[in-house]
Amino acid sequence: MREHDNTTLIFPSARNLALVAALLLSSAAFSQRATAQDAAAPPPSDSVADSARAYAAPSSVWNAQRVRRVIKDGTEVVLTDGTIWEVYLPDRPAVNTWKPGDLLIVREAAVMQGEYDYTIKDGRTRKLVWVRLVGDVSSRS
């Protein structure tokens, strides 16, 4: 019987050692960068100003806004851009379930419902509601 030469398994080549060393060094550098980024990040805050920034309009979705608040049991909704929208009567129960920070997409309606010439699509349920622009927060002060 022929014996197998196992020296390649016991003594790795210089090339294999260099590869392992390179992987260890890059892994250490990656870990160090991740730790530095975590240390540079501001601590989480429960303040109103910080939560408002977290609910800012998403920049990756065209005409997307977030709910600032729902007024009068779903009759009106205030978005993060300061606009106030009156909701079509049959859609008010759905709007009354919206919470601050919910993602919405505002579009001009393809088909109007009376005076309601815009639609807002709920990002969570994908339900369309008809609305009309009634003003902005600065005009109500």
Task: Give pLDDT tens digits for 27-75.
Answer: 776 666 666 555 554 444 444 444 444 455 555 566 788 889 999 888 9
The pair phi, psi for residue 13, each rounded to 5°, is -75, 165
- Domain shared by 63 and 110, yes or no: yes
- Domain shared by 84 and 117, yes or no: yes
Give the number of domains in the chain.
2
Pairwise pLDDT comparison (141 vs 139), residue with the higher score: 139
Q: Which residues of 95-122 are buried (b: 16+ CB within 10 A; e: fewer)?
A: beebeeebbbbbeeeeeebeebeebbbb
The whole domain housing 84 covers 48-140
pTM for the model stands at: 0.56
Q: Each residue of 7-26: pLDDT tens digit?
A: 555 566 777 777 777 777 77
Task: Give the DSSP H/E element, type plus range, for residue 54.
Answer: helix 48-54
pLDDT (0 to 100) of residue 52: 42
Structural domain contains residue 106: yes
Q: Each residue of 85-134: pLDDT tens digit?
A: 999 999 999 998 999 988 998 998 888 888 898 999 988 888 999 999 99
- Domain shared by 73 and 117, yes or no: yes
pLDDT (0 to 100) of residue 57: 52
Neighbouring residues of 94: CB distance < 8 A, sequence distance ≥ 6: 74, 122, 125, 127, 129
- Domain shared by 20 and 81, yes or no: no
How many CB atoms lie under 10 A from the CB of residue 133? 13
